[in-house]
């Protein structure tokens, strides 16, 4: 293995071009007031030596790494990976890089936050359900998704979870559902997604329909087994709203195994609007979050914070109901 340690530095370029390092630096940074000939010489030298500046060395002076971190619970989950894609796009547009921090079920928040302090990332976009605020001491620019922080002043971007829950209820009822249920995964920490359930439930109760809930801790074992029991015990449920699309797919699978017809016997609405659910066999009816816009807003706000501008602490983006084929205007017998 040839250890080709030494890379081309600014000094090399300076020598090659017969100028000082200061001048090279000025060229790199496109400063004005450089004589045409000098510019040419330096550019030529850069080209012949195939020189690239070391951004971290620069960062040491400028106190900027041009790196943004994205914290997600698990990158394999389609909602998060789609979100990551959009964040990456935005970050890329601004010539920054994206550090991916996927918690992956293990307890990495603390570790990652430390790492990020070490590496002086310029800012963090986080979508996490852990009580991260305890760790968040550093005053680093931070934007959270779907998670309000009560104590600290932290910018938050989310979809209108309340409207989403309400809309789901409205649509199911309008389509003739008589017994509604919510299926979700509980989380210990408070977060905005809980509003989905609350708004849904409120609407249903206001309109005096029977209502059932299945809302276990996500980490609980035998989740699917318990879910199946729940569905068996509530055979007359004919309209289900799930906390997200993946849960909806689970529910569909279980109901199919029971021989239920969807949407004839049971109608289902998910939440998120992930690609997978829209493109593939069952076109899931869902409350779609404006994922791309959320990413765009989050990154925009983050950079505003980095640049010292004032920002809205709370940004809420509108949801839309997308009708797939798990809902339908049907005639109910009863």
Partner DNA sequence: GTGAAAGCGCTAACAA
Partner DNA sequence: TTGTTAGCGCTTTCAC
Start-to-end C-alpha separation, the chain: 77
- Residue 149 within binding range of a copy of itself, rule CB under 8 A: no
User: With CB cut-offs between 5 and 8 Å by kind, which of DNA, a copy of itself, none does residue 168 bind?
Assistant: none
Give dist(CA 173, CA 25) in Å, integer.
66
Shortest distance in whole angstroms from residue 82 CB to a copy of itself: 5
Which residues on neighbouring strands pair with residue 180, listed in sequence order?
A: 211, 239
Binding mask 36-65 for DNA (x = CB under 7 A): -xxx-------------xx--xx-xxx---
Residue 154 near residue 305 (C-beta atoms within 8 A): no
Binding mask 60-89 for a copy of itself (x = CB under 8 A): x--x-x-x--x---xxxxx--xx-xx--xx
Contact with DNA (CB under 7 A) among 2, 3, 4, 35: 35
Shortest distance in whole angstroms from residue 148 CB to DNA: 33
- Residue 259 within binding range of a copy of itself, rule CB under 8 A: no
Q: Which two tokens stand for residue 257?
A: 């195994």
- Residue 173 within binding range of DNA, rule CB under 7 A: no
Contact with a copy of itself (CB under 8 A) among 127, 181, 249, 319: 249
Contact with a copy of itself (CB under 8 A) among 39, 53, 260, 278: 53
Give dist(CA 298, CA 305) in Å, integer.
11
User: With CB cut-offs between 5 and 8 Å by kind, which of DNA, a copy of itself, none does residue 9 bind?
Assistant: DNA
User: With CB cut-offs between 5 and 8 Å by kind, which of a copy of itself, DNA, none does residue 33 bind?
Assistant: DNA
Which residues on neighbouring strands pair with residue 271, listed in sequence order?
A: 287
Contact with a copy of itself (CB under 8 A) among 22, 92, 152, 206: 92
Give dist(CA 302, CA 312) in Å, integer.
11
CA 76, chain centre distance (Å): 12
Give dist(CA 73, CA 144) in Å, integer.
13
Residue 249 near residue 274 (C-beta atoms within 8 A): no
Binding mask 116-135 for a copy of itself (x = CB under 8 A): -xxxx---------------
Q: Which is nearer to a copy of itself, 201 or 250 (CB)?
A: 250
**Which long-range contacts link 42-47 to residues 24+ away (Cβ below 8 Å)?**
42/13, 42/17, 44/17, 45/13, 45/14, 45/16, 45/17, 46/13
Binding mask 263-282 for a copy of itself (x = CB under 8 A): ------------xx--xxxx
- For the segment 4-33, give every residue that binds DNA (CB under 7 A): 6-7, 9-11, 18-26, 28-29, 33
Q: Which is nearer to DNA, 34 or 198 (CB)?
A: 34
Cα–Cα distances (Å) from 84 to 88, 92, 116, 145, in that order, read 6, 12, 18, 12
Q: Which two tokens stand for residue 31?
A: 């400063």
**Rounded to 5, what percent of the chain is helix, strand, coil?**
40, 20, 40
Q: Containing H/E element for 271?
A: strand 267-272
Q: Which is nearer to DNA, 39 or 75 (CB)?
A: 39
The residues that touch a copy of itself, with contacts defined as CB under 8 A, are: 1-5, 7, 50, 52-57, 59-60, 63, 65, 67, 70, 74-78, 81-82, 84-85, 88-89, 92, 97-102, 104, 108, 114-115, 117-120, 137, 139, 249-250, 252-253, 256, 275-276, 279-282, 305, 308-310
């Amino acid at each position: 293995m040839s250890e080709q340690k030494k890379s081309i530095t600014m000094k090399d370029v300076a020598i090659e071009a017969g100028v000082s390092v200061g001048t090279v630096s000025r060229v790199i940074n496109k400063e004005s007031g450089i004589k045409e000939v000098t510019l040419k010489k330096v550019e030529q030298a850069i080209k012949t030596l195939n020189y690239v500046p070391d951004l971290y060395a620069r960062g040491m002076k400028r106190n900027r790494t041009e790196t943004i971190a994205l914290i997600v619970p698990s990158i394999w989950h389609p909602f998060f990976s789609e979100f990551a894609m959009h964040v990456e796009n935005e970050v890329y547009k601004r010539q920054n890089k994206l550090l991916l921090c996927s918690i992956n079920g293990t307890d990495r928040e603390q570790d990652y936050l430390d790492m990020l302090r070490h590496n002086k990332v310029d800012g963090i976009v986080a979508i996490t359900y852990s009580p991260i605020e305890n760790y968040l001491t550093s005053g680093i620019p931070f934007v959270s998704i779907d998670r309000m922080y009560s104590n600290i002043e932290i910018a938050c971007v989310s979809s209108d979870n309340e409207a989403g829950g309400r809309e789901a209820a409205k649509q199911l009822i309008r389509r003739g559902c008589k017994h509604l249920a919510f299926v979700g995964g509980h989380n210990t920490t408070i977060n905005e997604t809980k509003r989905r359930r609350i708004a849904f439930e409120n609407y249903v109760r206001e309109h005096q329909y029977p209502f059932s809930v299945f809302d276990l801790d996500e980490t609980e074992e035998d989740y699917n087994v318990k879910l199946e029991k729940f569905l068996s015990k509530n055979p007359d449920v004919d309209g289900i709203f799930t906390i997200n699309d993946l849960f909806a797919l689970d529910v569909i699978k279980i109901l199919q195994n029971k021989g239920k017809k969807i949407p004839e016997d049971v109608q289902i609405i998910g939440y998120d609007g992930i690609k997978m659910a829209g493109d593939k066999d069952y076109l899931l009816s869902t409350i779609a979050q404006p994922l791309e816009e959320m990413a765009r807003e989050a990154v925009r706000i983050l950079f505003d914070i980095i640049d010292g501008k004032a920002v809205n602490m709370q940004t809420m983006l509108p949801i839309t109901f997308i009708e797939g084929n798990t809902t339908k205007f049907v005639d109910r017998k009863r």
